[in-house]
Structure 1
Amino acid sequence: MGLLSVLRRLKNSPEQEVRILLLGLDNAGKTCILKQLASEDISHITPTQGFNIKSVQSQGFKLNVWDIGGQRKIRPYWRNYFENTDLLIYVIDSSDRKRFDETAQELAELLDEEKLNMVPLLIFANKQDLMTAATAAEIAESLNLHTIRDRIWQIQPCSALTAEGVQVHTHTHTETHTHKYIHT
């Protein structure tokens, strides 16, 4: 299950590039997941103030992953990255129940975006290693995922800290680009 199964359904043959948009509220664990996908050290992660791009080779796929900051002031800029998205990964902090309504609203708005119409959705129910984490089933219910009819979707319990549920067994090279927003 997880990312690889969604990729296999998405693309008929490997050796293809896949543009992945990695979104979610701040502190959900997006950058940590990105670093796990790239088999990088996760001991020093700071909040993403702009965006990170990583190209990761995995099982014949070249994954171009765009990790966009999730702070409230940055979210309006998300729409600048919707074009040509092959897969939307939405990360949720499973232990932050107080923000489930906020994350549900953001996800609903993303699913209504015309440029993301029909784009498959993978939800990482992150931080499953914490005792306070809601299960993937609880999150699916909270987000009303059962009502999604216009796209393939899947929810994957995971822990970006331990890499459980995240790893795709990457190999070869990884390219990294980090950018910050400049507000004028």
Structure 2
Amino acid sequence: MWRPSLPDAATVWARWRGRSVILMGLDSSGKSTLLARLLTGKVVKTSPTIGFNVGTLNLDKKTSLTLWDVGGQKRMRPNWRLYLDNCKALVFVVDSSKPARMAEAKKALKMVLSDSKLEGVPLMVLANKKDLPNSLKIREVSTLLDLESYKDRQWEIQACSAVQGLGLQQAFLSVHKMIKKS
């Protein structure tokens, strides 16, 4: 079972003040698998996140992002607002193989983006699990989440597979570019 090591308070504070990127999404969308794949390069067994996982993604020798993976269970979502201070970008992960959960994802995304702490913060939507049969195309995910309605912020949507590692590096390079523009 993969669990990132818990950093000390000073390390957390230093990371928090930098380029903090919050990973949110419904339970079982693949946030922890995605974080583990980015940090270790491996597919690891994960369990539902209670609270958060954190790690630093080095994009190159000069650029890193601190990624905060926040639990997505329904009972955890009211606490999402507690993680938004100093957020430089929001990465919202959806399971593109579960169209039945898109309405719930749309509602959760709308709720978190309504927080004033995220005003002007860039949004990256990752349509995860593109490796699975019958996964939705990004245009379908975009429509179901009503992304076009978010005219007050930069946003992008990309397909990815945390298990296969497809699209992850490109997505976070795009996140970094959006942060620089904002």
**Alignment map for 1:1-184 (pairs within 5 Å):** 17-59=18-60, 60-167=62-169
What is the distance in 2 between the residues matched to 1:114 and 1:65?
Answer: 21
What is the distance in 2 between the residues matched to 1:126 and 1:57?
Answer: 21
Aligned residues with identical type, % of pairs: 37
Letter matched to residue 144 of structure 1: D
Partner of 1:98, secondary structure, is helix
Partner of 1:52, secondary structure, is strand
Partner of 1:83, secondary structure, is coil
Per the TM alignment, residue 105 of structure 1 is displaced from its structure 2 partner at its CA by: 0.3
Alignment: residue pair count: 155
Name structure 2 gaps, 5 residues minimum.
1-16, 173-182
**CA deviation map 1:80-129 (0-9, x unaligned):** 01000001000000011111100000001111110011100000000000
What is the distance in 2 between the residues matched to 1:142 and 1:116?
Answer: 21
Q: Superposition RMSD on alpha carbons, in Å?
A: 1.8
Per the TM alignment, residue 17 of structure 1 is displaced from its structure 2 partner at its CA by: 3.5
- Indicate the structure with greater helix content: 2
Name structure 1 gaps, 5 residues minimum.
1-15, 171-184
State the TM-score, normalizing by the size of structure 1.
Answer: 0.80
State the TM-score, normalizing by the size of structure 2.
Answer: 0.81
- Indicate the structure with greater strand content: 1
Partner of 2:107, secondary structure, is helix
Letter matched to residue 33 of structure 1: L
**CA deviation map 1:138-179 (0-9, x unaligned):** 0001111111111100000000110101125x9xxxxxxxxx
Could you list the runs of 4 or more consecutive aligned residues of structure 1 that deviate by over 3 angstroms after TM superposition?
Answer: none
Partner of 1:156, secondary structure, is strand
Which of 1 and 2 has higher RCO (CA within 8 Å, sep 6+)?
Answer: 1
What is the distance in 2 between the residues matched to 1:48 and 1:132?
Answer: 26
